[in-house]
Amino acid sequence: MNTHPKPRWDQRRFISCSILFLGLMLPVTGVGNHLARHSSGPQVDARWVVAHVVVGSLFVVFTTWHVLLNRRALLRYLRGRLAAASARPSREVVAALAMVGVAMVLALA
């Protein structure tokens, strides 16, 4: 039986959920900004720009906070990878780089 009371506020869960929701909102506000730019007046366009900038800024803040909270685990992972003296990156690293690369090509094309 678990005798430890459940914490009232789980900071890691809050940050992870915030990053998830903000990450999902970034494309929505970006597409809204793009569509408003071609179909509406300048006021509607400015609102979408502000929404996109605010969501993007919050995403950066929460992601930085997430990295700071998990720095020990990240450093332990990096030290383990360096100690293994593996010249080849892991499949996860390759997949993440490929996904970011494809997204950048699609965004800039």
pLDDT value for 19: 93
Q: Tell me if 30 is assigned to some domain.
A: yes
Show the low-confidence residues of the chain (pLDDT under 50). none
pLDDT value for 38: 77
pLDDT value for 26: 94
Q: Tell me if 102 is assigned to some domain.
A: yes
Report the domain count for the chain.
1
| pTM exceeds cut of 0.85 | no
Q: Which two tokens stand for residue 55?
A: 């969501």
Q: Tell me if 55 is assigned to some domain.
A: yes
pLDDT value for 63: 94
Q: Tell me if 4 is assigned to some domain.
A: no
| Structural domain boundaries enclosing 43 | 11-108
pLDDT value for 40: 63
Q: Tell me if 1 is assigned to some domain.
A: no
pLDDT value for 78: 78
User: Whose CA is closest to 59, among 27, 95, 34?
Assistant: 27
Q: Which two tokens stand for residue 34?
A: 């793009």
pLDDT value for 41: 66
Q: Tell me if 61 is assigned to some domain.
A: yes
